[in-house]
Structure 1
Amino acid sequence: MEEKIFTKIFTDENLPYLELRYSNNTKHYKKHIHDTLSIGINIKGKTVYTNKDRIYDFDIGMIALVNPNEIHSCNPIDKTPNLYYMLYLDQNWCFGIQKTICEDIEEFIPFKKEFLDDMSTYEEFKTLCKTIFSEITYQEKEEELILFFTKLFKSYLKDFHKKPTNEDDMKFKKIQEYIQKNYKKNISLDELSNEFQLNQFYIIKLFKNKLNMTPHAYLINLKINKAKEYLKEGNSLVDTALECGFADQSHFHRNFLKIVATTPNQYKLNFVQD
């Protein structure tokens, strides 16, 4: 029985800087360019990967790194379809993440290598792609994207951390207080950027320097800490999730388990009086 050929493409108006392709297409591509940073992996099968004038046998465990406007192609070796993910990221978004790592750069710094052969990073990227296609909130997807690409870019960018200024401290404090006051809302980076007239990536940097977490991670931690208080008081799981501003029960359960390492119900049972 022939394998069904498919192509699934993820886009989201809340994440306008990315497009993710999941496919087992057998079509062969001519050498071409994108104005995006393109990163891809094979899940099944082998391909011939060309980047500029270099040709590679591309296998599972490898990650193709295609800088913006680099001529490239990646095609199956035989007629059997290869299963792959290909992520396309806006160059300006990538530069914003790089700028949080290295303040001195003035433009996107391209990868010097055409691929990585690192199973750990491969598995992390595969998990990221599955996460993007999952049903979780776009804020959670954005969180995972920021964490993965901060780590990836750090692997080849020199880190010029400058000491935070008093002005940075004041801005961070104001944003932190705003999130604390509005923790019931699902506050986005866009909202923070508009509220404080600050660049999104500058806000990310403030939180990474101060708390070593993103604003969204800080918000989720606040929600979970409040949820623990409500559960200790004997409130129902449904009321607790609503009071803490979680999108739904699944969103509440998933994040509670991730941070507290137990389910909300199991946590609540510790405080039930006989």
Structure 2
Amino acid sequence: MTPSTHPLFWRDDALPQVELRYVPDGHKVAYAAHSHREWSIGAILDGKSAFLCADRQHTVSHGDIVMMDPNIVHACNPLPNSPWAYYMMHIDVSWLAGILYESGLSPHIDFYSANMDTLKSEYFYKKFIQLAHCLMRDTCTQKNELNAQKAAMLKSYLVRLFEYLYSENQQRIGRKKPSPPATILAVAAYLDEYYLDNQSIKQLSQRFNISTSYLVRSFTKHFSMSPHAYRLNKRIQEGQIALKSGCNIVDIAQTVGFNDQAHFQRSFKQRVAATPKQYQSKK
């Protein structure tokens, strides 16, 4: 029997703060720049990819670990004629901060990751694969015991990883690019709240009393995507939340601001590496 090439998603009500994605074959997907609300970590299983994270470009391949802070714009596109397979885990920031605090570490997630988007470590790579296999394992017996094992293994891995990131990055902490100007932050906050509106760049610039050229240039500089792409990314994030709740896909598309399901599906797949239906199904 031929193994499925479709992406698989693991979610469990016993550990709702975590989502795990397995993409066995993503070499035909064109990934658009996007971001996640969660802290993210992934392992490259096969192939090579151009990994853009914020304003840094990397080439990653089998055996590499990639990490993204919350709301950091990134895109990972496989090199021409290269296979592409990976695990990607998204972790609720507040829950993760609590684990770090309980372990005597700083709860501020971005404190650990200055200039650290990729990690070449055989130890952390192998441990992450073991963790992913454990999370995706299921059984009809002793489910409570298995859930406890999954939670313990996950917490142990995260604590060890962040201890390592601190030791590697303590000389580089604070080397971050300047915060966006107050007006640009206000535009982003407005787009977060009114993501269903379809205001043009001209209308946005008039609302905040700035020129269209300054708005596009400064917003893209600080958020690594245009205002339009930022709003579209927000709609996809809201769509993911609705899909997890089991809502009808056609209704979701309209609710989060898409005129038709086809546009929603195309935009969703470019950012999530799966169709809405595939994402809604979980292992």
Helix, strand or coil: the match of 2:33? Answer: coil
Distance 1:4 1:132, change over 3 A: closer
Assess if the C-alpha contact under 8 Å between 2:98 and 2:107 holds in 1: no
Structure 2 match to 1:94? 96
Distance 1:4 1:11, change over 3 A: closer
Helix, strand or coil: the match of 2:70? Answer: coil
Number of equivalenced pairs: 156
Cα distance, 1:150 vs structure 2? 1.0
Distance 1:18 1:131, change over 3 A: same
Structure 2 match to 1:22? 22
* Residue number among 113, 120, 126 corresponding to 2:123 in the alignment: 120
Cα distance, 1:11 vs structure 2? 0.2
Letter in 2 for 1:98: L
Letter in 1 for 2:33: K
Assess if the C-alpha contact under 8 Å between 2:64 and 2:120 holds in 1: yes
Assess if the C-alpha contact under 8 Å between 2:52 and 2:58 holds in 1: yes
Cα distance, 1:139 vs structure 2? 1.3
Distance 1:121 1:14, change over 3 A: same
Assess if the C-alpha contact under 8 Å between 2:112 and 2:165 holds in 1: no
TM-score normalised over the length of structure 2: 0.52
Structure 2 match to 1:107? 108
Cα distance, 1:134 vs structure 2? 0.9
Helix, strand or coil: the match of 2:58? Answer: strand
Cα deviation digits, residues 231-250 of structure 1 (max 9, x gap): xxxxxxxxxxxxxxxxxxxx
Structure 2 match to 1:262? none
More displaced 10-residue stretch of structure 1: 130-139 or 55-64: 130-139
Cα distance, 1:42 vs structure 2? 1.2
Runs of 4+ in 1 over 4 A off after TM superposition: none
Helix, strand or coil: the match of 1:41? Answer: strand
Gaps of 5+ in 1: 159-274
Assess if the C-alpha contact under 8 Å between 2:100 and 2:107 holds in 1: no
Cα distance, 1:3 vs structure 2? 8.3
1:147 aligns with 2:149: no
Cα distance, 1:80 vs structure 2? 4.3
Helix, strand or coil: the match of 1:87? Answer: strand
RMSD: 2.0
Say which structure, 1 or 2, has more relative contact order (CA 8 Å, 6+ apart): 2
Assess if the C-alpha contact under 8 Å between 2:112 and 2:166 holds in 1: no
- Give the % identical residues: 26
Letter in 1 for 2:108: E
Cα distance, 1:135 vs structure 2? 1.9
TM-score normalised over the length of structure 1: 0.53
Distance 1:55 1:143, change over 3 A: same
Gaps of 5+ in 2: 140-145, 168-283
Structure 2 match to 1:83? 85
Cα distance, 1:76 vs structure 2? 1.1
Cα deviation digits, residues 77-119 of structure 1 (max 9, x gap): 124441110000000111011112336x463335220111111
Assess if the C-alpha contact under 8 Å between 1:43 and 1:60 holds in 2: yes
Helix, strand or coil: the match of 1:147? Answer: helix
Letter in 1 for 2:80: D
Structure 1 match to 2:57? 55
Cα deviation digits, residues 51-100 of structure 1 (max 9, x gap): 01111110112100101111101111124441110000000111011112
Distance 1:150 1:110, change over 3 A: same
